[in-house]
């Protein structure tokens, strides 16, 4: 009897406030769902307060309260105007900050509260709820905001920059613990004055069991009419940071290579402009598929012969571990990497792809040509990438580490 009580008492209830949370069947990365599901599978409760509006498309995807494989998801109100303008984007963030706080305060018996940034406003909600409830506050830093926005030129007003940096450090100081997904983020936090013992590093990774490197994605290739092509895939957000214009310029350089075709899988604020540009340049070798659910990504990547990861040439982007790179590696596909920094080290140490300088469309086109002309080399790169993620970036191990971190915080 006593043993059963002790085991039951060790169960916890974690609450995550995450505006961009992606549920199964929706387009986008499902990392947080996979981590939450792992906690649920081990007897814990996990509740997410999320937006009903897709962060990728700006369209409504869900309402009300849903349960996904034991993960309870509550949709707090947010306007459907995320991509209308920068001002509207801020308004949406602030509205969700308020609505998510009200929704989270109604959730009962919470043991630990998790905030995630960006956007940073939702982290204020998590801090406030944790403070009111007198519960530990875990702050997950997924991107270095506001530094990314400053480097991209999105945030230029000196007063707003000063306020943003104050808010950033306010949250760092009040978090019970911080979680980062890139080693460079840990270094950044230490430089801002956060003590190393207050930081945990759990890298981005992938559920390797989702992907079968031997699958060639024949049905998907037929669906998009690229059966005979060397298929180059970009899967992810079509936003300002992603520098898809450079990828389109590379496609323009290769428009005479009828054997090479580009698939752009995703959605975002820049999609309309990019599609217009593609039509103006008569890029018959480029197809925009629109957003597809994460569950379909294994088939998408199986149909690919090479995959592109690309970001703008901004110093702060050298600190990031993009999720898509690990998906590409798990699928056993070679990577053309137009991102410098810590993720370049991962790809080059694995021998999993080709690095090209960010923003260099000619180098990007040349790298794709090299892979298309040497399929044996491309295949070997894909195999090495798969081996590396199985060993070092397996989502199952990361989920276990995440669960242990939450357990240690809820017991403190």
Sign of CA dihedral 113, 295, 322, 385: positive
The span from the CA of 164 to the CA of 158, in Å, is: 10
Cβ atoms of 207 and 396 within 8 Å: the answer is: yes
pLDDT at 55: 78
Structure confidence by residue, pLDDT tens digits, 120-162: 899 999 999 999 999 999 999 999 988 888 888 888 889 989 9
**Pick from 102-116, 154-168, 295-309: least confident:** 154-168
How confident is residue 10, by pLDDT bands cut at 50, 70 and 90? low
Cβ atoms of 105 and 129 within 8 Å: the answer is: yes
Provide the terminal-to-terminal Cα distance of the chain, rounded to the nearest Å. Answer: 25
Q: Is the pLDDT of residue 314 over 80?
A: yes
**Pick from 56-65, 246-255, 336-345: least confident:** 56-65
CATH 3.40.50.2000 residue ranges for the chain:
2-205+394-410, 209-392
> β-pairing, 71-75 with 65-68?
antiparallel
Cβ atoms of 250 and 364 within 8 Å: the answer is: yes
> β-pairing, 199-201 with 230-235?
unpaired
pLDDT at 8: 38
pLDDT at 9: 41
How confident is residue 303, by pLDDT bands cut at 50, 70 and 90? very high
How confident is residue 61, by pLDDT bands cut at 50, 70 and 90? confident
How confident is residue 87, by pLDDT bands cut at 50, 70 and 90? confident
Cβ atoms of 317 and 241 within 8 Å: the answer is: yes
CATH of 2-205+394-410, one of 3.40.50.2000, 3.90.1560.10, 1.10.132.10, 1.10.150.120: 3.40.50.2000
CATH of 209-392, one of 3.40.1370.10, 3.40.50.2000, 3.50.50.60, 3.30.9.90: 3.40.50.2000
376 or 88, greater pLDDT? 376
* Rounded percentage of the chain residues whose pLDDT exceeds 70: 97
Encode the chain in three state secondary structure.
CHHHHHHHHCCCEEEEECCCCCCCCCECCCHHHHHHHHHHHCCCEEEEEECCECCCCCCECCCCEEEECCEEEEECCCCCCCCCCHHHHHHHHHHHHHHHHHHHHCCCCCCEEEEEECCCHHHHHHHHHHHHHCCCEEEEECCCCCHHHHHHCCCCCHHHHHHHHHHHHHHHHHCCEEEECCHHHHHHHHHCCCCHHHEEECCCCECHHHCCCCCCCHHHHHHCCCCCCEEEEEECCCCHHHCHHHHHHHHHHCCCCCCEEEEEECCCCCHHHHHHHHHHCCCCCEEEEECCEHHHHHHHHHCCCEEEEECCCCHHHHHCCCHHHHHHHHCCCCEEEECCCHHHHHHHHHCCEEECCCCCHHHHHHHHHHHHHCHHHHHHHHHHHHHHHHHHCEHHHHHHHHHHHHHHHHCC
The span from the CA of 308 to the CA of 364, in Å, is: 9
């Amino acid at each position: 009897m006593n043993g059963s009580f002790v085991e039951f008492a060790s169960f916890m209830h974690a609450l995550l406030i995450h505006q961009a949370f992606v549920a199964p069947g929706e387009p986008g990365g499902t990392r947080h769902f996979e981590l939450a599901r792992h906690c649920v599978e081990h007897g814990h409760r996990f509740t997410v307060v999320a937006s009903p509006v897709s962060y990728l498309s700006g369209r409504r995807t869900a309402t009300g309260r849903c349960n996904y494989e034991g993960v309870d998801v509550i949709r707090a109100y947010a306007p459907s105007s995320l991509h209308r303008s920068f001002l509207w984007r801020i308004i949406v963030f602030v509205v969700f900050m308020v609505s998510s706080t009200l929704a989270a305060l109604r959730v009962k018996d919470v043991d630990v509260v998790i905030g995630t940034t960006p956007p940073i406003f939702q982290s204020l909600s998590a801090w406030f709820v944790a403070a009111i409830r007198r519960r530990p506050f875990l702050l997950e830093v997924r991107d270095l905001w506001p530094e990314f926005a400053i480097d991209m030129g999105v945030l230029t007003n000196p007063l707003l920059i000063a306020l943003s940096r104050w808010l950033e450090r306010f949250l760092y100081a009040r978090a019970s613990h911080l979680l980062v997904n890139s080693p460079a983020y840990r270094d950044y936090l230490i430089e801002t004055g956060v003590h190393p013992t207050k930081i945990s590093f759990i890298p981005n990774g992938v559920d390797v069991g989702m992907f079968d490197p031997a699958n060639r994605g024949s049905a998907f290739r037929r669906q998009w009419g690229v059966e005979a092509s060397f298929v180059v895939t970009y899967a992810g957000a079509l936003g300002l940071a992603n520098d898809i214009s450079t990828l389109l310029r590379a496609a323009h350089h290769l428009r005479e290579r009828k054997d090479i075709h580009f698939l752009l899988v995703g959605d975002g604020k820049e999609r309309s402009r990019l599609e217009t540009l593609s039509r103006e340049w008569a890029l018959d070798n480029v197809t925009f598929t629109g957003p597809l659910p994460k569950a379909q990504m294994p088939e998408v990547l199986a149909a690919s012969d090479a995959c592109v990861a690309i970001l703008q040439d901004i110093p702060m982007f050298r600190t990031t571990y993009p999720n898509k790179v690990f998906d590409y590696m798990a699928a056993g596909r070679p990577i053309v990497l137009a991102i410098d920094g810590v993720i370049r080290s991962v790809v080059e140490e694995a021998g999993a792809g080709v690095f090209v300088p960010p923003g260099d469309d000619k180098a990007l086109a040349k790298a794709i040509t090299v892979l298309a002309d040497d399929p044996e080399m491309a295949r070997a790169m894909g195999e090495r990438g798969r081996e590396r993620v199985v060993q070092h970036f397996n989502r199952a191990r990361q989920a276990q580490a995440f669960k242990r971190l939450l357990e240690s915080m809820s017991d403190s």
